[in-house]
Structure 1
């Protein structure tokens, strides 16, 4: 998963955040420490390697992270090798300085074609002279909007305006539906306009395990439509995850969830897509987007009753596990943040009754 962070995102600033998250997991997680450490060391090297598809060239940060890892495990061979590698790269950087280039190109006394190079300074000398530049500038457009989204993702204490929050309600819902009358579901209103609803304890652990066991071996790199005319799909760097699709006939657990969604939302599932299962792993993300086609010329607006050609009226998102860090679903335009909670689900409408998008 860490390799995917480096090779699929052009945001080097985000790569550093992901590496720090991995390090915290290494120190605190129950996950096998050897596996996390291995991924961190490989990722650090890719972060600085000019052969990487998206190199950052930030050797100083890579060296610092390697030294932090060696403080945890001083005898780690991979960490020691990385440390030597980065120090070597930093030392040889002096060759780009004018004097170093001059020394390199100066012929020796024998007037032969060979060259001489002065002794390279030590790592401490390099640091003291500060004759290198830290390449940590964040590039790209709409950085202000992006940083607002990231702040919302990180801020676990996000709160709505008290006046607005006072109008939101929690309730038991059954819709007079036989499926829910014997056990109404717990509904929490997270926002009123547009309405975003959170449902607690919506699915049994046994069904979660069944769905995950079916989906895991089928997971593939998630794609998006990159050409609406040809419906061509391809992986993109703004959606880093794996996904697959499950139908009702694949398992009784999937069929039960579909019936529950229909009973809760009072929407028919006849034209609904199959259940999409997503796994974001470590460092995965999906940039800000809408869950419907906003192009009036798209064939999805020509509703002929076929499930694969209908625009998405609404979205139901079920959380199949808790997360140690991150993983939030955010709505940046209204400042709403939802932290994943195993067995819960959120629901919102993508379209108004007129069929136009609910932006």
Structure 2
């Protein structure tokens, strides 16, 4: 075989091997951004809003309320980003109606919302003025408008919270409560975005109240239902209450608590006072425990566990209160 042919074939094979073994050039591939999770919440780990959400999250239940507070936070935060980017950021009206039975957390949530609005710059002061009918309605013509305007003035930069607001409409056309309603409607127009008005009360009564003045419903774009707590949630609330005071509920006491809760719910199905009932019951149980321990240990101090334990006999009914 001709040596030139062999050399030529070997050189050709060598070039083919070099082609196969040559390291390919790296190819830049676009990296896809991770898709946002549905209903995902971005909550700062520290700062005023983190503290506010922590306070809200510690409340039992109220999932719909917590969702709404986050929506308001998101709207205000994005509004700030839009302003920084030179975009329009329309101001919304944040007057609210809270509907629900007593003890469902309405006043506590109002205080938290006041803190949120202050932290986000919506309200400069973020304080809460809590009033009821007696604080607004006067004794003669013109007195009610004067009292109502004075309270609105005090609420400037914060929130005016009117509990049992439906009572303002109970007296009919000649009642001075109507004067308070008319004064509030005018103030909401005159001092737009300078304060937030929250009306609270039973669901059915609040619906009736809003229907008494054609200008009311459209001025309260946010309406929140505060449902009654379940028995399990009320037990959880009771345990949190006593734990904060270094007390504990033994299993037998929790069983007694459940019985009392079910009985009270059945006795007052439309006016059950929820956490308020639990708080009163826990405070009464602590008093009963103190009397029991003082009788048992009149010559010596009880042990630590005895001082902490609330027993079933401490959580007894009280004829004076109807429990």
* Superposition TM-score, scaled by structure 2 size: 0.25
- Structure 1 or 2, whichever has the larger Rg, is 2
* Superposition TM-score, scaled by structure 1 size: 0.24
Judging by fraction of residues, say which structure has more strand. 1
